[in-house]
Amino acid sequence: MRNIYSSTTEGVLWLGEFSGDGDTGANHISQETAAVAFELVRSLAADQHWNSQEHAQSMVREESDALAALLDLSWWQRAWTVYHYQKLSCHDVLYKFWDCIEGFRVLQEESDKDILVKMALEMFRFRHASDRRDCVYAYLGLGSKALADYTIPYETAFKYVVRSLIQESNNLGPLVRIAEHAETRSATLPSWCPDYGSSFPETYENLDQEFGWLYMYNWYQAGGGNGPTSRFSLIDSRLEQQGIVIDKITKAEGPMYSTDTKDEILSAWYQDRDPRV
């Protein structure tokens, strides 16, 4: 895709179909509305000074409504558009809302290509794909050696990609994911594998906090410098890792959000410790 863009001087992007009237669908917009929206985009791209006091109120409303209609087309929420954007070398981008801006910013600033795919998988969990397998395949081109296989079910594809990312990143970071809702998660997918095809509500509580956990992937290096060692399992739902069993976890507490409570939490852990240790 990068080679295609590098030799392209101009392209035509399909955003949807024109509708004959104002009653538009998910992929439809009236020609008049599209014309108003693109005229506004061209004006903004030319860095022209825009003064709301010089615009009639009706014109301001018409332009803002037209731009909103353009950005509501489903193209802006498709998984594959992330890869198209990331592979452009020199470009101007029209962002939709803050979730898009933050996600693309992270991809641009991330220098570690080994985790770029993993970050994209989580940062863009809200995007859609007609084929659930594309919820993971759409991001492989960002830096993974895993291959898209459309002959396998989507759940098998999810497990295959997670296993591949563990091997490539040399840690268990790919197992970290945004908290999923049990009612939307696949009942047949093993708990260790994120359900990249599950739907999320448009308003997700504590989303910034959830994204924060993704940056802690380097905490999951229990395998040391050699990284985790996976073992082939005859049961596809199992993720078998080679290691040493130190002790059984009897209790798991919440995270330490600040150093103020660290001593208090450590003291409680010490009191509750197993006396045999």
Tens of pLDDT, residues 214-232: 666 556 565 666 777 777 7
Of 191, 211, 231, the residue that ends a domain is 231
Whether 185 is in a domain gets the answer yes
List the domain range (segments joined by +) for residue 198. Answer: 113-231
pLDDT range class, residue 48, cuts 50, 70, 90: low
Q: What is the pLDDT of residue 37?
A: 82
Q: Clarify whether residues 58 and 143 are in a common domain.
A: no
Band of pLDDT at residue 271, cut at 50, 70 and 90 = confident
Asked whether the predicted pLDDT for residue 153 surpasses 60, the reply is yes
Whether residue 150 is found in the same domain as residue 222: yes
Three-class SS string for the chain? CHHHHHCCCCCCCCCCEEECCCCCCCCEEEHHHHHHHHHHHHHHHCCCCCCHHHCCHHHHHHHHHHHHHHHCCHHHHECHHHHHHHCCCCCCCCCCCHHHHHHHHHHHHCCCCCCHHHHHHHHCCCCECCCCCHHHHCCHHHCCCCCCCCCCCHHHHHHHHHHHHHHHHCCCHHHCCCCCCCCCCCCCCCCCCCCCCCCCCCCCCCHHHHHHHHCCHHHCCCCHHHCCEEECCCCCCCCEEECCCCCCCCCCCCCCCCHHHHHHHHHHHHHCCCCCC
Task: Report if residue 202 sits inside a domain.
Answer: yes
Q: Give the C-alpha separation, 63 to 69, whole Å.
A: 10
Q: What is the dihedral of CA 97, 98, 101, 102, to 10 degrees?
A: -150
Distance separating alpha carbons of residues 114 and 170, to the nearest angstrom = 9
29, 70 contact by CB (below 8 A): yes
Lowest-pLDDT choice from 6-20, 41-55, 87-101, 177-191: 87-101
249 in any annotated domain: no
Residue 162 inside a domain? The answer is yes
Whether 226 and 118 map to the same domain: the answer is: yes
Residue 94's pLDDT band (cuts 50, 70, 90): very low
Q: Would you state the structure tokens that stand for residue 103, as one six-digit string?
A: 């996600």
97 has a pLDDT exceeding 60 = no
Residue 173 lies in a domain: yes
Same domain, yes or no, for 38 and 123?
no
How many structural domains does the chain have?
2
Average pLDDT across the chain, whole number: 72
Q: Where is mean pLDDT largest: 61-65, 93-97, 133-137, 142-146?
A: 133-137
What is the reported pLDDT for 230? 76
Domain end, chosen from 215, 231, 247, is at 231
Same structural domain, 141 and 33: no
- Identify whether 84 is part of a domain: no
Residues 91-103: what's their mean pLDDT?
Answer: 49
pLDDT tens by residue, 111-123: 566 667 887 887 7
Neighbours of 194 (CB within 10 A): 25
132 lies in the same domain as 220 = yes
Domain match, 68 and 117 both? no
Asked if residue 257 belongs to a domain, the reply is: no
243 in a structural domain: no
